[in-house]
Amino acid sequence: MEKIKVGIIGTGNCAKALVEGVQYYNENPEDKVGLMYEDIGGYQSGDMEFVIGFDVDRRKVNRPLAEALRADPNCAMNHVASIDDTSNGYGAIKPGAMVHSGPEYDGVAPHMLEYPEEVSFRTGAQSHISFDDIVELLVKERVDVLINYLPVGSERASEFYMDAAISAGCHFVNCIPTLISTKETKKIEQKFIDAGLTIVGSDMRSAWGASRLSEVLQGAMLDSGLMVTQHIQTNMAAGSTQGQEHIRTGRTANTDFLNMAKQERLKNKHVSKENVLKGQNHVRDTSTAGMTLFAGPSLTVQQKPGGDYIGSDQKIANFDIVAYGFAGARYTLTARMEVQDSPNSGGVVISAIRFCKVASELGIVGYLRGPSAWTQKTPPLQLKTDESKYECDMLAQREITKLTEPQLFSNKPLAKNLAYTFQAGETDYV
């Protein structure tokens, strides 16, 4: 099998974690911890190669991809000694792969330029690169799958790259909470169907993060006959000033949390995270009317030297759930989870890339509903956890299901006839 050639839009912490993770598993083939799937349709984690990147930060543009991924403001942990080591015969990055300038549009929030340069973006690398130039680069590098890692709130920029992916014949993994409107979903999907391409989206989950835990808890309570009346999930970035690097930078959080410090940047993120909670009610025909639901992604806390948190890529999630059960008995659950934020997403994206490739080889087009429900917060079709896992298992085995059969290109699928969580125009959910 040829390697799956991958392009990256936005060479930030999540991109760094993904690429270094692929390199890590190349160097440690016996270690499968952290991978949801060791094999997807015959493709291992090492069967992908990162061939091109796009960014607007002047410290990254026109630099080798390996260098850009470790340039400021990236602060995610290093998983390997050398990100482009090819001594074992497997390099995650194609030799000579570069980061190219892309259009800025709404990709950089104005307030991000107010933070010190070592913790935030610095533009100025803009060139007059056109849409056709982007398409030409994708075609030249024979990109199979294009990953959208732009900052939350990058609506226009995401649309630009999505259209470029379609024109270049690239499958698309939309890792951010944009393009999630039910009014647009069918329109977007039809574009990919017509081009014979797949898409996974939107808004990536972590392998074991706040959304996954909320989904499991919500679903388990409902399946046990409980009535959930309150589900509050709050997320906090607790940057540390421990260690020389963090003393130097005074880093408060990774750029994802800093970007969402302004309400206008996190609107879709807030909606997308709450979709996880509402979706588990919806697939069980259980109303959310009267429930207190909240999923907040944006709180940051700066620590002084000697703080307990070990890295600026640290994320803390707190959960406060109230439910009622047998004869009105009250149940309460409080929980706290602490994770390294960026590596936590790598485990799902490393699967989403391979799902796109395998699905395309089977002739499936459009939104991959099982993988989207498994790896994303706002998929076109919400599924129960076991249902989405089943669809992923079948695709990993190259099996067509009742859900994927209508999406075979040979069946001339129309988006309007495919399964969606809600009809266009409904607003209770998204």
Cα–Cα distance between 153 and 109 in angstroms, integer? 8
Q: Pick the range with the lowest mean pLDDT from 39-53, 159-173, 294-308.
A: 294-308
Residue 362 in this model has a pLDDT that exceeds 80: yes
Q: Is the pLDDT of residue 366 over 60?
A: yes
Among residues of the chain, what percentage have pLDDT more than 90?
52
Q: How confident is the model at residue 344 (pLDDT cuts 50, 70, 90)?
A: confident
User: 210-342: which CATH topology?
Assistant: Dihydrodipicolinate Reductase; domain 2 (3.30.360)
Burial 146-170 (b: 16+ CB within 10 A, else e): bbbbbbbbbbebbbbbbebbbbbeb
CA–CA dist 312, 67 (Å, integer): 20
Look at residue 361 in the predicted model and tell me its pLDDT.
98
185: pLDDT strictly greater than 90: no
CB 97 within 8 A of CB 64: yes
pLDDT, mean over the chain: 85
Look at residue 423 in the predicted model and tell me its pLDDT: 40
Residues of the chain with CATH 3.40.50.720: 4-206+344-411
178 vs 336, higher pLDDT: 336
Mean pLDDT of 330-348: 90
Model confidence pLDDT, tens digit, residues 105-152: 876 767 777 777 777 778 876 667 899 999 999 999 999 999 999 988
Residues carrying CATH 3.30.360.10, the chain: 210-342
Q: Is residue 312 scored above 80 in pLDDT?
A: no
pLDDT at residue 175 is higher than 80: yes
CB 190 within 8 A of CB 409: no
In CATH terms, 4-206+344-411 corresponds, of 3.65.10.10, 3.40.50.720, 3.40.640.10, 1.20.1270.360, to: 3.40.50.720
Question: Is residue 290 over pLDDT 80?
Answer: yes
* Phi and psi torsions of 390, nearest 5°: -60, -45
**What would the mean pLDDT of 405-409 be, rounded to a whole number?**
98
Lowest mean pLDDT, pick from 169-173, 268-272, 290-294 = 268-272
CA–CA dist 231, 326 (Å, integer): 19
Cβ contact 154:178 at 8 Å:
yes
Q: Mean pLDDT throughout 64-71?
A: 94
| Better-scored residue on pLDDT, 81 or 18 | 18
The model carries a pTM of 0.87
DSSP alpha helices (H): ranges in 127-242?
A: 131-140, 155-168, 182-195, 210-223
pLDDT tens string 19-37: 999 999 999 989 989 999 9
